[in-house]
């Protein structure tokens, strides 16, 4: 029992660390660690019918019905990871972006292969190919969309939480990147650093509403159209690779809520062109090592994690 709780907490930490990085999804980590189906099913069970169950059988029955211990331990891991790693990952993004992006690039490639392997035979059909292509196109469109500049009001924070959480449970689409597109990433990250609990509470409330709504839809799709949905999710992951390509040239900048200049629009470059245009070392050797590390990490998680039901 204790071993399972520790394992779930560590998976939550990994999901939280992934969600902090714009372009990487905690849903990816949930899938490759074997808890994705359980997570969706547990969330899907949170409905108004719980009140009836509570009256008939008590709080313990409700807790068991929604896998309450699993959800709370996983959430504790996610929140502690976001609180503890947000500053460090922000520092890595600012000072050592190439090895960080390279690590996640290798992780995403291996994760896409992992999801594709779950497709039932025959793995390649016209429907799955079309679903994968649609997923690639949709993810690519999101990554090249022009970011909005929303003001951090109570309404926009609530809606941002509802929208971003849908992405966070989708393998391939990053909730952090959705916040970036909405212009809410820096305000939320600053709120985490500064302990602005009123803003974080609104974000959490929006996330709860979005999560409860979207989990039902995703569970239904996986139940009725399993192969097509998995193919679409694989496409989503492959379509985001351009966003996390390590060698980038910043074309335009924006000012975040702290008054700092951060990248707005970026162009992907080959390592040689990166050195010529940007003027910084491409760190190819370090990038390759980081990519391999991310790739191997997924293989290890795949080997030692339970299979999806």
Can you spell out the DSSP letters for 28-81? HHHHHTT-HHHHHHHHHT-STHHHHHHHHH-HHHHHHHTTHHHHHHHHHHHHHH
Within the chain, strands assigned E span: 248-255, 261-268
Residue 255: how many CB atoms within 10 A of its CB?
A: 12
User: What are the angstrom distances between the C-alpha of 207 and each of 161, 203, 210, 215?
Assistant: 4, 6, 5, 12
pLDDT at 281 over 50: yes
Within 93-155, strands assigned E span: none
Buried b (16+ CB within 10 A) or exposed e, 27-57: bbbbbbbbbbbbbbbbbbbbeeebeebeeee
The predicted pLDDT at position 23 comes to 61
For the chain, the domains span: 87-304
* Residues forming a β-bridge with 249: 267
- What crossing angle do the helices spanning 154-168 and 185-194 adopt, rounded to 10°? 100
The predicted pLDDT at position 84 comes to 79
| Residue pLDDT, tens place only, 75-92 | 999 888 887 777 777 788
**Length of the chain counted residue by residue:** 309
Cα separation of 26 and 176, whole Å?
10
The predicted pLDDT at position 1 comes to 67
Residue 175, burial from CB neighbour count under 10 angstroms (0-12, 13-18, 19+): buried
- Mean pLDDT score of the chain, rounded to an integer? 82
- What crossing angle do the helices spanning 68-95 and 185-194 adopt, rounded to 10°? 110
Percent of the chain with pLDDT over 70: 87
Cα separation of 203 and 260, whole Å?
23
Backbone φ and ψ of 91, nearest 5°: -65, -40
Lowest average pLDDT, out of 5-14, 150-159, 210-219, 258-267, goes to: 258-267
- Choose among 237, 168, 243: nearest CA to 203: 168
The pLDDT of 11-36, averaged and rounded, is 78
| Residue pLDDT, tens place only, 14-26 | 888 777 766 667 7
Percent of the chain with pLDDT over 90: 16
On whether the CB atoms of residues 241 and 105 are closer than 8 A, the answer is: yes
pLDDT at 262 over 70: no
Lowest average pLDDT, out of 64-73, 87-96, 128-137, goes to: 87-96
Residue 184: how many CB atoms within 10 A of its CB?
A: 28
At residue 309 the predicted structure's pLDDT band, cuts being 50, 70 and 90, is very low
Buried b (16+ CB within 10 A) or exposed e, 105-138: bbbbbbbbbbbbebbeeeeeeeebeebbebbbeb
């Amino acid at each position: 029992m204790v071993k399972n709780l520790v394992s779930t907490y560590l998976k939550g930490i990994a999901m939280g660390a992934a969600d902090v990085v714009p372009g990487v999804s905690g849903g990816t980590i949930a899938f490759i660690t074997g808890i994705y189906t359980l997570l969706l099913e547990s969330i899907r069970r949170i409905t108004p019918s719980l009140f009836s169950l509570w009256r008939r059988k008590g709080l313990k029955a409700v807790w068991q019905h929604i896998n309450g211990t699993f959800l709370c331990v996983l959430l504790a891991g996610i929140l502690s990871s976001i609180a503890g790693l947000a500053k460090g990952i922000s520092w890595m993004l600012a000072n050592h972006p190439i090895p960080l992006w390279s690590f996640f690039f290798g992780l995403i490639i291996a994760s896409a292969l992992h999801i594709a392997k779950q497709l039932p035979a025959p793995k390649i059909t016209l429907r799955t190919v079309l679903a994968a292509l649609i997923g690639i196109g949709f993810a690519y469109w999101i990554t090249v969309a022009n970011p909005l500049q929303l003001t951090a009001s109570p309404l926009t924070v609530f809606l941002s939480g509802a929208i971003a959480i849908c992405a966070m449970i989708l393998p391939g689409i990053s909730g952090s990147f959705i916040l970036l597109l909405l212009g809410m990433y820096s305000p939320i990250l600053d709120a985490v650093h500064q302990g602005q609990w009123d803003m974080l509470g609104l974000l959490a409330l929006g996330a709860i509403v979005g999560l409860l709504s979207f989990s039902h839809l995703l569970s239904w799709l996986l139940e009725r159209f399993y192969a097509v949905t998995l193919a679409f999710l694989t496409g989503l992951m492959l379509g985001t690779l351009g966003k996390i390509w390590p060698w980038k040239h910043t074309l335009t900048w924006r000012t975040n809520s702290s008054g700092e200049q951060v990248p707005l629009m970026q162009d992907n470059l080959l390592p040689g062109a990166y050195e010529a245009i940007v003027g910084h070392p491409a760190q190819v050797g370090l990038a390759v090592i980081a990519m391999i590390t991310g790739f191997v990490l997924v293989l290890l998680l795949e080997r030692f994690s339970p299979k999806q039901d």
